[in-house]
Structure 1
Amino acid sequence: MPTARSAQLSTILTDHAEAVRAAWLDASSVELRGRSTRGELEREQSDIYDALVEGLRDGGSELGDAAFDQLRGILADVSGARARLGFTPRETAMAVFALKEGLYSLVDDDVRAHLTPLMRLVDDLGLYTFENYADAREAIITEQAEQLMELSTPVVKLWEGIVAVPLVGTLDSARTQVVMEKLLNTLVETGSEHAIIDITGVPAVDTQVAQHLLKTVVAARLMGAQCTISGIRPQIAQTIVALGIEFGDIRTRASLADALVDALREKKRPTSEVRG
């Protein structure tokens, strides 16, 4: 049920739509400096403006009201789209805040006397847009980080029955989980019996990294694969000894090439000899 104030504000925006939208479009175009065409801005602003007027007409007074559900949805879509297109937070929020410039263009004193609640509502629109932009940007960054992690932990088939995981960079809990999943899936898909985890590109091995490596080896062994850790450089070996890290019966080799040679030799042995 529309209140007297919301009905009055919707009437003001309807009666002065052409002037307000023209001034808003000009202000947004200056702020965005050609990042969007006037046609794109006009369509975007038209959707926002119409939803704002409709919400006021339906009795909305605050952005959280049910009358503004459509408006919030449009703002969220605009924020998400701009985040994906690389717009800055300022460009995204100011494109909405610029609606104030359109309202300032109203010179009728009687009209201006009723604009304070509308200005506050525009502030809420801008803040809502900024918050949604931040959420969308964070989601994009998280997705990109996950994709980068996937790319940085490839599982490579070196030979029939032999796969390798060349690790580069720091090995943390999140990355260990990705390595495990990709390695185990590849072992199942290829039916491989040998897995080589190469740490040549890992800058340092401490107790935590060693624990992550051991978890990966145990997971691969549970799938029936023989595991070798390669890339044990002299500095890494000294660090492992100094820290008292025990790899137990896990086979280690200085290079990926050495580990591959061992795996190929083992494949040639009779099954009974390998098990013995």
Structure 2
Amino acid sequence: MSDASTGALSQVLTRHADEVRTAWLDAAAAELHGRSSRGELDREQTEIFEALVGGLADGGTTLRDAAFDQLRGILADVSAARARLGYTPRETAMAVFALKEGLYALVSDASVRTDITSLLRLVDDLGLYTFEAFAEAREAIITEQSEQLLELSTPVVKIWDGVVAVPLVGTLDSARTQVVMEKLLNTLVETGSEHAIIDITGVPAVDTQVAQHLFKTVVAARLMGAQCTISGIRPQIAQTIVSLGIEFGDIRTRASLADALLDALESGGRSAAEVTG
């Protein structure tokens, strides 16, 4: 499209705005099956349509042009909002592709008949851009939710004055180790605790990689001045550790969280009688 033709298309779209937008709204509403009200769709389409017309008036020929900066921003915002609301990629993209239903009516206008193909291609670009923006937004949401679940799955709790514990459940990988370290170190600073217990009762298996992650966490806690104990060493895990030749060195280990807590309290100057009560 030339600058002259884009200007002409802008004028034609403005002249046929009601006709185009009515057909677009009907097609989009039919595709979404009531997931969005006609009022919501109308507001979205008003913004998109005005930005499209404005971009054409400013000489935009492809979606990458600066004239369509506002349009791309609107499409990205709509896509992100629909990703958060649980729309499907098809529902999101088709709400834009449905604009074609309104544009088909322009074929009867002799002044733009030869440029309709270019305009329809531009709408294809709008739909594809919307799809890509939706995918990026949904990936960001999934990443955020995964991080939130990771935070929830690695609690650090104060179980006694001067003693904190990290009850681990599930597989321990590099990303989770980093979260454990950060939360443990922050809790040690906040509580002034001198003892940290890492309980692996809920860890299904311990291999060389898991052992390395545990070592890193213990070293991090020690650098903060806290004595660290690993508890929850079940018989099966103990056998696996021995068979793999994994050495825990001078790291203290205990069979249960209760044993580790008792040990931490006694090392802090409390007698067994004082601890048990």
TM-score tier, shorter chain, comes to: over 0.9
1:269 Cα deviation after fit: 5.6
Counterpart of 2:206?
205
Does residue 40 (structure 1) correspond to residue 40 (structure 2)? The answer is: yes
Matched-pair contact (CA < 8 Å) for 2:48–2:71: yes
Query: Contact 2:196–2:228 (CA<8 Å) still a contact in 1?
Result: yes
TM-score (structure 1 length as normaliser): 0.95
1:54 aligns with 2:71: no
Deviations 1:168-194 (A, max 9, x none): 111001100000000000000000010
Q: Secondary structure at the match of 1:55?
A: helix
Q: Secondary structure at the match of 1:63?
A: coil
Checking the alignment, whether the CA contact within 8 Å between 2:193 and 2:226 is kept in structure 1 is yes
Contact 2:107 2:116 in 1 (8 A): no
Gaps of 5+ in 1: 271-276
Task: Normalising by structure 2, report the TM-score.
Answer: 0.95
Instruction: Give % identity.
Output: 80
SS of corresponding position for 1:246: coil
Matches of 1:257 and 1:89, distance apart in 2: 50
Distance 2:109 2:192 in 1: 80
Task: Report how far residue 243 of structure 1 moved.
Answer: 0.4
Amino acid at match of 1:144: Q
Runs (4+) of structure 1 exceeding 4 A deviation are: none
CA distance in 2, matches of 1:47, 1:109: 24
Give the 3-state SS of the residue equivalent to 1:61 in structure 2: coil
Aligned residues: 269
> RMSD in angstroms over aligned alpha carbons?
1.2
Residue 45 of structure 1 aligns to which amino acid in structure 2? Answer: Q
Per-residue CA distance 1:51-106 (angstroms, 9 max, x = gap): 00000000000000010011011001111111111110000000000000111233
**Corresponding residue for 2:143?**
142
- Is residue 273 of structure 2 the alignment partner of residue 253 of structure 1? no
- Tell me by how many angstroms 1:8 deviates: 1.4
Q: Deviations over 1:140-173 (max 9, x none)?
A: 1001101100000000100000000000111001
Find the counterpart in structure 2 of residue 167 from structure 1: 168
Within 2, Cα distance between the matches of 1:116 and 1:168?
58
What's the counterpart of residue 233 of structure 2? 232
Residue aligning to 2:93: 93
Secondary structure of the residue that 2:211 maps to in structure 1? helix
Tell me by how many angstroms 1:107 deviates.
Answer: 5.2
